[in-house]
Amino acid sequence: MKALDATQLYFNRAADHLELPASSRRLLVTAKREVQVQIPVEMDDGRLETYLGYRVQHNDSRGPMKGGLRYHPEVDLNEVRALAALMTWKTAVVNLPYGGAKGGIAIDPSVLSPGEIERITRKFVDEIHDFVGPNNDIPAPDMGTDSQVMAWYMNQYQKYHGFNPACVTGKPVEMYGAPGREEATGRGVGILCLKLLGRLGRKPPQTRVVIQGFGNVGSHTAWFLNKAECSVVAVSDKFGGYYRPEGLDVPAMVRYANNNRGTLQGYKDAQPITNEQLMELDCEVLIPAAIGGAITEHNVKKIKAPIIIEGANNPTYPEADDVLTAEGRTVLPDILANAGGVTVSYFEWAQNRQYYQWTLNRVRQELDVVLSQAFEAVWEMAQQRQTSLRTAAYILGIGRVSRAAALAGIM
């Protein structure tokens, strides 16, 4: 099953609970605008390459549309559509005044030079600047993009519309970024993991955690949970995994990756394993924090973790989700679990509009407040409706979006 089918299926389950008529469903699953652009770029060796870029603006009933910009070779319009819809439900679940969007370019940034990535980014902005902007659609980092890419985006946008740092979030702190944005998604995954453990009566020191992906989300999640005294026993990146049953030295691994172009390749102080083996390890918490479709009908029966926290977007496909639910495992869904990033992006955007910068402590405290409220609301909805946390989160998000659309007279 593809990502788009999965999000639509999750949408329909919640829409059934809300008894939404077919006409409203059609409106809510249809994107407001979808754009595919051509990106011709001169490469370092003088060759001309042409790439494809996408921006899907899904829904703006609750505010300007918000969503990441992904650079990955497998980016296509269907994937971006699914991710844009997820953003609409995610911003609604955490009650931010935003709608949802997503963008991407089908490139592999690991084989491109910084200059090539900069030219591709600027050309993309040339093509989309007319229908994005601080009151309309605000990108942020996602897989394969970082604060540097956001800085180029802001500078190129400025050439058309004047200085306005609120046009993009996830910028470097010295260029109107928010302290704490870089860590926010992983920190949020960690905060929510601790909340869930508390509800399930488990203690961090007795909790073994396995994390797939050691990029922005995976590494900050590992850092936070290690500090919170969980035992992080395995992590991985696209080249493979590393396992140490008595707990990994997470700070050492973060330092290693930082000095090794972001990868753990060659790390010696743990047992090397494959990404498949990692998913099947004996542990209390499994956190997919890399790619979509990490948990499917092919591997779900081999997964042992009773708790799954979706750091990545769309990591669990519905066939596998049904198995996990039937077996009584707890899945904290992506639209809540990884919402820390968009929450701090919202703080950054609000600060940019006031030309004022909060301290790191304030960012962390407010993040905790927003995520705690969202967690409690989803937990309560699941109890009330006797559903999984995923369906509860969708009911909450879709309910808020459809009420806003109805009040605005759109449906």
Which residues are catalytically annotated? 102
**What are the residues facing 212 on neighbouring strands?**
236, 288
Nearer to ligand NAD, 109 or 402 (CB): 109
Q: Which residues contact 199 (CB under 8 A, 6 or more apart)?
A: 379
* Closest by CA position to 312, among listed 100, 142, 111: 142
Residue closer to ligand NAD by CB (options 109, 133) is: 109
Distance CA 283, CA 306 (A): 8
Q: Which of 220, 205, 140 is nearest to 177 (CA)?
A: 140
| Closest residue to ligand NAD in the complex (CB) | 215
CB of 409 to ligand NAD, least distance (A): 32
Instruction: Quote the tokens at residue 219.
Output: 């590494």
Q: What is the dihedral of CA 368, 371, 372, 377, to 10 degrees?
A: 170
Structure letter (DSSP) for residue 316: B
Q: Based on CB atoms, which residue is closest to ligand NAD, 141 or 179? A: 141
CB of 63 to ligand NAD, least distance (A): 18
Which residue from 318, 313, 312, 275 is spatially nearest to 300, judged by alpha carbons? 318
Count of residues for the chain?
A: 411
Paired tokens of 318 = 């519905």
Percentages (nearest 5) of helix, strand, coil residues in the chain: 50, 20, 30
Minimum Å gap between C-beta 242 and ligand NAD is 12
Q: Closest distance between ligand NAD and the C-beta of residue 142, in Å?
A: 5
DSSP string of 101-131, one letter each residue: EEEEE---GGGS-HHHHHHHHHHHHHHHGGG
- The nearer residue to ligand NAD, 25 or 102, going by C-beta atoms, is 102
State the minimum distance, in angstroms, from the CB of residue 86 to ligand NAD: 9
Q: Which residues bind ligand NAD (CB under 6 A)?
A: 141-144, 185, 212-218, 236-238, 275, 289-291, 311-313, 338, 341
Distance (Å, rounded) from C-alpha 193 to C-alpha 284? 11
Query: In this complex, which beta carbon is closest to ligand NAD, that of residue 109 or of residue 134?
Result: 109
